[in-house]
Structure 1
């Protein structure tokens, strides 16, 4: 379970620093960003034990739609069963451990392993085992206790599908409550999926997240965003358990930031001039603007390489109608520009994580309590 690497990196002395007053505290040590062994431990002790965004209902709109995904180094399969319900299973045949569904498919009634043709229903139950007792001696009725696909605990929020692979995290509704409590004014049912942007970042996934809830860098790195929401209007990111959150007033809509697009229905004047952002520990981020929901999903490939997806949703016809295409394109270009600015800094910091001159940093009491909280949460799961 990679306990040794976590104990060697997060020693008692290191962890004790996370509990100091912020000015005396530090963030995570360098090995958390550079060690392949640490990333393997994260797959087991962090990603598998938390609620993780795994997929989307729009990827499996119809009965029999099946979509393989990889989470924390493990192959999973998300599907729409014969009753139209979402199901999630480990994508591993119980016979010899082959991946059952290697690519996305539709109109499936049975999932057949490509190795020895063991067949599973969309409910995960084993249906047949050809030649199991010898040539032409098939097992056509394995029975209810036969080894079927192993189910994965999951939950659905609107279009999003979350999984808790270990099965022992808090109930999803309880997990989600801090977000629900703060976003009651938003009618998320009005959202429609539009597009996903993909970025290949030469940096550790944690640096991307820490940069996300760091508003301190905006004047230096994001001139257009600083004009949109100046730093003197910003507060440090707040925390609530596994949630990080902040809100900023919007001076005026800009191209790509609320200009010319439909707003959430019923949003009051204050809501029309407010930006929310949330980070759900460990790897999911949300930006709520009056005209959109941007969902950031991170996939750690290597200690120094992360794939970032931005899944973009707009209100109603704003997501699909041709008249809004120029506005949508402006949003895509805005996110591309903003993230390119961020990635320059993230990749810069990744290079510096090889230096013994950095040992977790010196934290600002105003801007960096969230960085300190992130270190505490990481230690909680990894130790």
Structure 2
């Protein structure tokens, strides 16, 4: 009886193997963070193809070109949100009187409980959205959706500014528009006398934690498309020129790497949205980027990856003037992160400080 026990145990183990392989993934904790669902990826791919095709047709002399020639260049404001746009009244004052020079697009996380009704400039400007979450490529996908929607909507969109619900403008619309449009740009390879707009995106190559972020998906997961020496970091918020917006929605090569979920154990180093855009543009057109952001963020007392949040007691004219200061050619044009209850103090100084240039 006892002599047959090893044989019985072996048979039981052998028969159990299929069940172990079947149920182990459901029992054991996942090794990676959640990935982008395949249906979402398929929807995005179809959207990006339409945006690419429409831009190519416009550049070839279709109706889109006639529309662009009859309209001045516009700024597309891309709001990436997961809560109410509490500062909509500030933005309305910013936009007022300049309706021919801008468009607004909003990507709101479907799970967000939006209570505030959209104000004039935001009404009807919400695009089809997918779920977003931290430490995942969903934030990249959402920004790409906004870019694609803006490319499809209006050929006159020349600049694409990514904004969050916690952002405010630091200057008047006239000042912001002039700063972008009058940028000297870079010579066009095809026509050296013609200058192309630059993108305002932070690109950093020597961040001390860059390697940890590079291996967040695995030691060699980014190879061969993205060797470590080409990996970059930068602010999540940018202003892209139209050709770079098109470059982003056309990209498949780098996206297949950055869409991979991070390892669970590397979650604290997983910020894909801070790497995809600066890496892609630095690899494709480094001379066409200023390498700095136009959105001011205070990281001096960050908590759990979040920057300093300004409270009502901190709002003053001196704060606005300080937030504008920059080491680059231009002053900062936008700033974050502000708590929703800063609205009234900001409105109080809007006309006398913020929009007085």
TM-score by length of 1: 0.29
Question: If each structure's helix is expressed as a fraction of its own residues, which one has the higher value?
Answer: 2
Answer 1 or 2: which has greater strand percent: 1
Task: Say which one has the larger Rg.
Answer: 2
